[in-house]
Chain A
Amino acid sequence: MTNANLSVEMDSSAAVNIFQDAVFIEELRTQMLKFAKLQVRDNQLAEDAVQEAMISAYQNIDRFARQAAFKTWVFSILKNKIIDLLRKEKRHTAASQLEDGPNLSGEALIEHLFEENGHWQKDERPKKWDQPEHGVENEHFWRIFDACLDALPAKYGRLFMMREFLEMDTPEICHNEDVSISSLNVTLYRARLRLRECLEDHWFQKEKS
Chain B
Amino acid sequence: MIKCKQATQMLSEKLDRPLSAKEKINLTMHTAICTPCRQFGKQMETIRGLSKSYTKAKKPDEK
CB neighbours of B6 from chain A (8 A): 118
- Please tell me the size bucket of the interface on A: 35 or more
CB neighbours of B48 from chain A (8 A): 164
Q: Are B13 and A185 in contact (CB under 8 A)?
A: yes
Interface residues in chain A, defined as those with a beta carbon under 8 Å from any beta carbon in chain B: 35, 66-68, 71-72, 75-76, 79, 110, 114, 117-120, 125-129, 132-133, 135-139, 142, 145, 163-165, 170, 181, 184-186, 188-189, 192-193, 195-196, 199-200
Q: Are B57 and A142 in contact (CB under 8 A)?
A: yes
Q: Are A132 and B50 in contact (CB under 8 A)?
A: yes
Q: Are B62 and A192 in contact (CB under 8 A)?
A: no
Q: Are B63 and A137 in contact (CB under 8 A)?
A: yes
Q: Which of B4, B13, B52 contacts A120 (CB 8 A)?
A: B4
Q: Are A114 and B4 in contact (CB under 8 A)?
A: yes
Q: Would you give the shortest CB distance from B12 to chain A, in whole angstroms?
A: 4
